[in-house]
Amino acid sequence: MGKGTSKRTGSCESSSGVSSDESNTPEGFLRLELSLDIINQLCGFFGDGSNADGIRSTVDLPFDICYEIYKAATTSIDFRDSTENDEMLALKLHTELNKDPREDRVYSAHDQEAFERLCSEFYVIPRKHIMSCFVDNNYDSVATRKTLGFFTDEPCNLKDYATTVRNGCNAFPPQTGTVNNDFGETIKADERLALELHSKLNANPNKELTQKDRKHLNQLSSEFSDLPHDIIKACYVDNEWDYAATRETLAVFAQEKRVLKDSRKERRENNSSNIDTSSSSSWTPVAPRRKVENKGKNKWSIEHAQELSRQDMARSKELFAKQGEFLERASNASGNKMTRLGASSYYTMEASKYRRIAYELVQEANQRLCEANLDTRGTSIDLHLLNVPNAISLLRIKLSQMDRDPAFRNGPSTKTLNVITGYGKSNNGQCKLKPNVITWLRQHKYSFSHANAGQIIVTCK
């Protein structure tokens, strides 16, 4: 091995006769001779697998690596008999050392019952804090009850609980990302809320209505006749038979219902305005003759149908947004003990109404566009503003009308259909309709070409 050939990563020399002179070994390195087994393996990896010439080789390694090799060679572990490599052993050891003993504990139905009992006893404490303490105590209800501070047989000693929290009880660390991270600052509000909830829970839910309460209930039912009586009564009970509070709540419900009714009325007026009533002649509606007369009659032009469909789709987006708002209100009302059933059920019903009307608008818009394209006699159809299933259905019907009979498809057809798909202008240039149309045409073996970014010319069969 010549001078100047040593490297930090080690250098290797091979020859038929290795000199024992180590004067040219770099400083800080030690020259080691490779065993015959290693040389044979290297010949197998990089040569023809034979060591007929008796090649011998040495390698220069740093002292620290040589020391590690020496330690490994002098240990009592037999690495040759090991069935797992060092990485797997290290990973197993790390997993065992960092394993949480609570992971072996299965959360059972008995644990759920104990947790619910703790929540009912310490209702002033948030459920997530009770669960955290329950898990830390390895699902031991007795230890958790001691940690939470089960003081007396009374419903809850709020004063002692507040004193314990103020004196530094860290059983419930403050959660980051909440509105108020200082749990001690909300003790007074929690005390008032707990007392109020305790009075509500211990109140008689089957309280008989007095004559005054019945009178107020009848007044509310007559004033808000548009709302169901059971919802009015549930809201009245939730507000503890408070006439003023119930009246304000029902006024909000009635206003939202009035807005929904106005939207339905406006939609019916728009649909009725599309009917041609200019003819003053009287006629008798005979079913067969009516079908023949309306067979080739256009209800809408393409432009008029698209304009009406845009309005319906914009309105449907608003209704879907309204549905989301009502679902969120229903979720908040169901999670609030102050409002139990009445408000949540009302919000859920209103959300379903908005969803049904929105879907009806979308279906009417798609139906109007399909009828306008089919009634128009020509060699072009406009698919944009349609959803993908309706667009594919319209394309299939139009091509079936223009295609030749299979018995006469000997040569190429001279008929073409101009398909307007749009190029995704309203979706930031991401068109979903055009790729689906192209895929369908290829599956059904139609020849087509691109006229521009938003138009396809299909050759009929």
pLDDT in tens, 245-264: 788 777 777 776 666 666 66
What number is the average pLDDT over the span 215-237?
Answer: 81
What number is the average pLDDT over the span 310-334?
Answer: 81
Nearest C-alpha neighbor of 31 from the set 66, 7, 5: 66
Q: Report the distance separating Cα 396 and Cα 441, nearest Å.
A: 9
Q: Report the distance separating Cα 323 and Cα 347, nearest Å.
A: 9
Nearest C-alpha neighbor of 382 from the set 276, 314, 307, 296: 307
pLDDT in tens, 347-382: 788 888 888 888 888 888 877 777 777 766 667 777
Residue with token string 């080690």: 10
Q: Report the distance separating Cα 144 and Cα 150, nearest Å.
A: 9
pLDDT in tens, 145-200: 877 774 334 444 444 544 444 444 444 444 444 444 444 444 555 556 666 555 55
Cβ-Cβ contacts under 8 Å for 32 (sequence gap 6 or more): 58, 59, 60, 61, 66
Q: Residue 425 above 70 pLDDT?
A: no
Q: Residue 32 above 80 pLDDT?
A: yes
Q: Report the distance separating Cα 96 and Cα 98, nearest Å.
A: 6
pLDDT in tens, 65-114: 888 887 777 765 554 444 455 666 666 666 666 655 555 566 777 888 88
Q: Residue 453 above 70 pLDDT?
A: yes
What number is the average pLDDT over the span 382-387?
Answer: 74
> Is the separation of the CB atoms in 57 and 18 below 8 Å?
yes
Give kind and range of the element (H or E) at residue 346. helix 342-375
